Amino acid sequence: MRAALLALLPLLALAACRQAPGELLLSDAWIREAPADGPMAGYLRIDNGLPEALRCDKASSPDFGAVEIHRSALENGMARMLRDQVIEIPARGQALLQPGDYHLMLFRPLRPLKAGDSASITLLCGSRHASAEFTVRAP
């Protein structure tokens, strides 16, 4: 009995931290198709319906070995990618992750992902989190 309860705990914890609709909303989520095994880039829109600012600094996915938050930037005319970025979203504001700017860098796809496929990614913003299905699109 006790063992069964312990086994249930992670499930209960997951259910408890699921967000009510409209609080932290991910939309327009897509992944740029890339050669097999290469890293892929994910983009989306984040709407913060909460009365407080959010800092999103981690992401994870059951479909990738690792997910990092990056930002593309021009430095002395050279395109660079900055790692370990934090996405700041003002209270009741929004953030856009788009090509040439903030993006999710998706490493080591655990299955082949072609245009039309989708992958689930979870974004962590302090004590909040939200997930979305990202659709793979041809570049």
Q: Residues interacting with Cu ion, by CB under 5 A? A: 70, 81, 105
CB of 41 to Cu ion, least distance (A): 6
Q: In the complex, what is the shortest distance from the CB of residue 39 to Cu ion, in angstroms, rounded to a whole number? A: 7
Q: Which is nearer to Cu ion, 29 or 70 (CB)?
A: 70
**Distances in whole angstroms, Cα of residue 48 to Cα of each of 45, 76, 104, 111:** 10, 34, 18, 31
Distance CA 66, CA 16 (A): 25
When the beta carbons of 90 and 100 are compared against Cu ion, the nearer one is 100
In the chain, the largest separation of any two C-alpha atoms, in whole Å, equals 64
The CA–CA distances, whole Å, from 120 to 5, 48, 67, 100, 136 equal 28, 20, 11, 22, 11
Task: For the CB of residue 71, give the shortest distance to Cu ion in the complex, in Å.
Answer: 8
Pick between residue 19 and residue 72 the one whose CB is nearest to Cu ion. 72
